[in-house]
Protein backbone atom coordinates (compact mmCIF):
# COMPACT_ATOMS: atom_id res chain seq x y z
CA UNK A 1 0.00 0.00 0.00
CA UNK A 2 1.53 3.31 -1.00
CA UNK A 3 1.51 6.42 1.17
CA UNK A 4 -1.06 8.07 -1.12
CA UNK A 5 -3.57 5.29 -0.36
CA UNK A 6 -3.15 5.45 3.43
CA UNK A 7 -5.09 7.76 5.72
CA UNK A 8 -3.18 10.86 6.78
CA UNK A 9 -4.27 10.61 10.44
CA UNK A 10 -2.13 8.43 12.70
CA UNK A 11 -3.70 7.69 16.10
CA UNK A 12 -1.04 7.51 18.81
CA UNK A 13 -1.02 6.85 22.54
CA UNK A 14 1.35 9.77 23.08
CA UNK A 15 2.04 12.62 20.65
CA UNK A 16 5.51 13.04 22.15
CA UNK A 17 6.48 9.58 20.82
CA UNK A 18 5.73 9.58 17.07
CA UNK A 19 6.08 6.41 14.97
CA UNK A 20 9.69 5.68 14.10
CA UNK A 21 9.31 4.87 10.39
CA UNK A 22 6.84 5.17 7.52
CA UNK A 23 4.84 2.05 6.71
CA UNK A 24 4.81 2.92 3.01
CA UNK A 25 8.49 3.52 2.24
CA UNK A 26 10.37 2.89 5.49
CA UNK A 27 11.59 6.50 5.67
CA UNK A 28 11.97 8.30 8.97
CA UNK A 29 9.54 10.92 10.26
CA UNK A 30 10.41 14.49 11.20
CA UNK A 31 8.18 16.95 13.03
CA UNK A 32 6.46 19.19 10.49
CA UNK A 33 4.56 21.88 12.37
CA UNK A 34 0.94 21.58 13.41
CA UNK A 35 -2.40 20.70 11.85
CA UNK A 36 -5.32 23.11 12.10
CA UNK A 37 -6.77 23.80 15.54
CA UNK A 38 -9.93 21.84 16.28
CA UNK A 39 -12.63 22.40 18.89
CA UNK A 40 -13.51 19.14 20.62
CA UNK A 41 -16.63 18.70 22.79
CA UNK A 42 -15.61 16.99 26.00
CA UNK A 43 -19.00 16.45 27.59
CA UNK A 44 -21.80 18.97 28.00
CA UNK A 45 -20.72 22.55 27.48
CA UNK A 46 -17.00 21.81 27.93
CA UNK A 47 -14.96 22.57 24.83
CA UNK A 48 -11.26 21.80 24.37
CA UNK A 49 -8.92 23.18 21.76
CA UNK A 50 -6.76 20.59 20.05
CA UNK A 51 -3.83 21.48 17.82
CA UNK A 52 -2.30 18.15 16.76
CA UNK A 53 1.30 17.78 15.62
CA UNK A 54 2.07 17.02 12.01
CA UNK A 55 4.95 14.80 10.87
CA UNK A 56 6.50 14.30 7.44
CA UNK A 57 8.16 11.23 5.98
CA UNK A 58 11.67 11.95 4.70
CA UNK A 59 11.39 9.26 2.03
CA UNK A 60 7.99 9.73 0.37
CA UNK A 61 7.50 13.31 1.69
CA UNK A 62 3.90 12.63 2.75
CA UNK A 63 2.63 14.43 5.85
CA UNK A 64 0.56 12.81 8.59
CA UNK A 65 -1.36 14.20 11.57
CA UNK A 66 -0.63 12.70 15.02
CA UNK A 67 -3.94 12.46 16.83
CA UNK A 68 -3.88 11.49 20.52
CA UNK A 69 -6.09 8.44 21.10
CA UNK A 70 -8.30 10.32 23.57
CA UNK A 71 -9.74 11.99 20.48
CA UNK A 72 -11.45 10.20 17.62
CA UNK A 73 -10.47 10.93 14.03
CA UNK A 74 -13.05 12.97 12.13
CA UNK A 75 -15.27 13.44 15.20
CA UNK A 76 -16.03 16.65 17.11
CA UNK A 77 -16.42 14.80 20.42
CA UNK A 78 -13.84 13.19 22.69
CA UNK A 79 -13.46 9.43 22.93
CA UNK A 80 -14.76 9.53 26.50
CA UNK A 81 -18.07 11.10 25.40
CA UNK A 82 -18.51 8.65 22.52
CA UNK A 83 -17.67 5.68 24.73
CA UNK A 84 -20.22 6.83 27.31
CA UNK A 85 -22.88 6.87 24.60
CA UNK A 86 -21.91 3.40 23.33
CA UNK A 87 -21.94 1.92 26.84
CA UNK A 88 -25.37 3.45 27.51
CA UNK A 89 -26.68 1.91 24.27
CA UNK A 90 -25.19 -1.48 25.20
CA UNK A 91 -27.12 -1.31 28.48
CA UNK A 92 -30.38 -0.82 26.57
CA UNK A 93 -30.95 2.95 26.44
CA UNK A 94 -32.17 4.77 23.35
CA UNK A 95 -30.44 7.55 21.46
CA UNK A 96 -32.69 10.39 22.69
CA UNK A 97 -32.14 9.87 26.44
CA UNK A 98 -28.42 9.32 25.83
CA UNK A 99 -28.21 12.56 23.82
CA UNK A 100 -30.11 14.45 26.53
CA UNK A 101 -27.75 13.16 29.24
CA UNK A 102 -24.67 14.09 27.20
CA UNK A 103 -26.21 17.40 26.02
CA UNK A 104 -25.61 16.53 22.38
CA UNK A 105 -27.84 16.62 19.30
CA UNK A 106 -29.90 13.40 19.02
CA UNK A 107 -28.88 13.00 15.36
CA UNK A 108 -25.20 12.91 16.32
CA UNK A 109 -25.72 10.22 18.92
CA UNK A 110 -28.04 8.24 16.64
CA UNK A 111 -25.34 8.25 13.93
CA UNK A 112 -22.72 6.93 16.37
CA UNK A 113 -25.02 4.19 17.59
CA UNK A 114 -26.00 3.10 14.09
CA UNK A 115 -22.38 2.95 12.93
CA UNK A 116 -21.21 1.18 16.05
CA UNK A 117 -24.02 -1.39 15.87
CA UNK A 118 -23.35 -2.09 12.18
CA UNK A 119 -19.58 -2.42 12.74
CA UNK A 120 -19.74 -4.24 16.08
CA UNK A 121 -19.21 -7.82 14.88
CA UNK A 122 -16.01 -7.22 12.87
CA UNK A 123 -14.61 -5.09 15.73
CA UNK A 124 -15.50 -7.82 18.25
CA UNK A 125 -13.74 -10.46 16.15
CA UNK A 126 -10.64 -8.30 15.67
CA UNK A 127 -10.50 -7.37 19.37
CA UNK A 128 -10.79 -11.01 20.43
CA UNK A 129 -7.97 -12.03 18.06
CA UNK A 130 -5.90 -9.20 19.51
CA UNK A 131 -6.74 -10.31 23.08
CA UNK A 132 -5.80 -13.94 22.45
CA UNK A 133 -2.52 -12.89 20.80
CA UNK A 134 -1.70 -10.75 23.84
CA UNK A 135 -2.84 -13.39 26.36
CA UNK A 136 -3.02 -16.95 24.95
CA UNK A 137 -4.34 -18.26 28.30
CA UNK A 138 -7.32 -15.92 28.23
CA UNK A 139 -10.34 -17.55 29.83
CA UNK A 140 -13.92 -17.56 28.58
CA UNK A 141 -15.78 -14.26 28.24
CA UNK A 142 -19.40 -13.91 29.26
CA UNK A 143 -21.72 -12.67 26.49
CA UNK A 144 -23.11 -9.20 27.13
CA UNK A 145 -26.45 -9.90 25.47
CA UNK A 146 -26.15 -7.57 22.48
CA UNK A 147 -23.77 -7.45 19.54
CA UNK A 148 -22.62 -3.95 20.53
CA UNK A 149 -22.22 -5.02 24.17
CA UNK A 150 -20.15 -8.02 23.09
CA UNK A 151 -17.93 -5.79 20.93
CA UNK A 152 -17.35 -3.31 23.76
CA UNK A 153 -16.58 -6.16 26.17
CA UNK A 154 -14.10 -7.64 23.68
CA UNK A 155 -12.38 -4.26 23.26
CA UNK A 156 -12.07 -3.94 27.05
CA UNK A 157 -10.73 -7.49 27.38
CA UNK A 158 -8.18 -6.85 24.62
CA UNK A 159 -7.00 -3.60 26.23
CA UNK A 160 -6.63 -5.39 29.59
CA UNK A 161 -4.71 -8.27 27.96
CA UNK A 162 -2.29 -5.84 26.32
CA UNK A 163 -1.75 -4.04 29.65
CA UNK A 164 -1.07 -7.36 31.39
CA UNK A 165 1.44 -8.36 28.72
CA UNK A 166 3.23 -5.07 28.09
CA UNK A 167 2.59 -3.18 31.31
CA UNK A 168 0.88 0.19 31.51
CA UNK A 169 1.24 2.03 28.23
CA UNK A 170 -0.79 4.96 29.42
CA UNK A 171 -4.42 5.36 30.47
CA UNK A 172 -6.70 2.45 29.50
CA UNK A 173 -9.16 4.58 27.49
CA UNK A 174 -6.71 5.45 24.66
CA UNK A 175 -5.68 1.81 24.28
CA UNK A 176 -9.34 0.75 24.12
CA UNK A 177 -10.13 3.43 21.54
CA UNK A 178 -7.24 2.30 19.32
CA UNK A 179 -8.40 -1.32 19.48
CA UNK A 180 -12.07 -0.39 18.95
CA UNK A 181 -11.43 2.32 16.37
CA UNK A 182 -13.46 0.58 13.67
CA UNK A 183 -16.73 1.04 15.56
CA UNK A 184 -17.36 4.48 14.06
CA UNK A 185 -16.23 3.79 10.49
CA UNK A 186 -18.80 4.92 7.93
CA UNK A 187 -21.54 2.48 7.04
CA UNK A 188 -21.16 0.64 3.77
CA UNK A 189 -24.06 1.06 1.37
* 61 torsion bin: left (phi>0), alpha (psi -120 to 50), beta (else): left
d(CA 107, CA 126): 28
The chain-wide mean pLDDT, for the chain, equals: 84
d(CA 183, CA 152): 9
Q: What is the pLDDT of residue 2?
A: 45
What range defines the domain where residue 27 resides?
Answer: 3-68
Q: Is the pLDDT of residue 5 over 50?
A: no
Q: What is the pLDDT of residue 31?
A: 87
Which of 48, 68, 88 corresponds to the end of one domain?
68
In a domain, 74, yes or no: no
Same domain, 84 and 177: yes
Same domain, 53 and 84: no
Same domain, 83 and 143: yes
In a domain, 189, yes or no: no
Q: What is the pLDDT of residue 69?
A: 78
d(CA 43, CA 143): 29
Q: What is the pLDDT of residue 116?
A: 93
The more confidently predicted of residues 72 and 138 is 138
Same domain, 115 and 166: yes
Q: Is the pLDDT of residue 177 over 80?
A: no
Residue 152's pLDDT band, with cuts at 50, 70 and 90, is very high
d(CA 56, CA 18): 11
In a domain, 73, yes or no: no
Same domain, 91 and 22: no
**Burial environment of residue 186 by CB neighbours within 10 A (0 to 12, 13 to 18, 19 or more):** exposed
pTM of the predicted protein model: 0.80
Same domain, 34 and 91: no
Same domain, 55 and 136: no
Q: How far is CA 60 from the centre of its chain?
A: 26
Same domain, 12 and 100: no
pLDDT tens profile 58-116 = 888 888 888 887 888 888 898 889 999 999 999 999 999 999 999 999 999 999 999 99
In a domain, 85, yes or no: yes
Same domain, 83 and 159: yes
Same domain, 94 and 155: yes
Amino acid sequence: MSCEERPVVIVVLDEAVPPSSCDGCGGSFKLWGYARTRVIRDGGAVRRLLRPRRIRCGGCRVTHVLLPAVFVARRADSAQVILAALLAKASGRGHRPIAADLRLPPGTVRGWLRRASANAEPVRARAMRFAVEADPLLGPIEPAGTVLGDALEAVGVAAAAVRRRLGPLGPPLPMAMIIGSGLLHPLRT
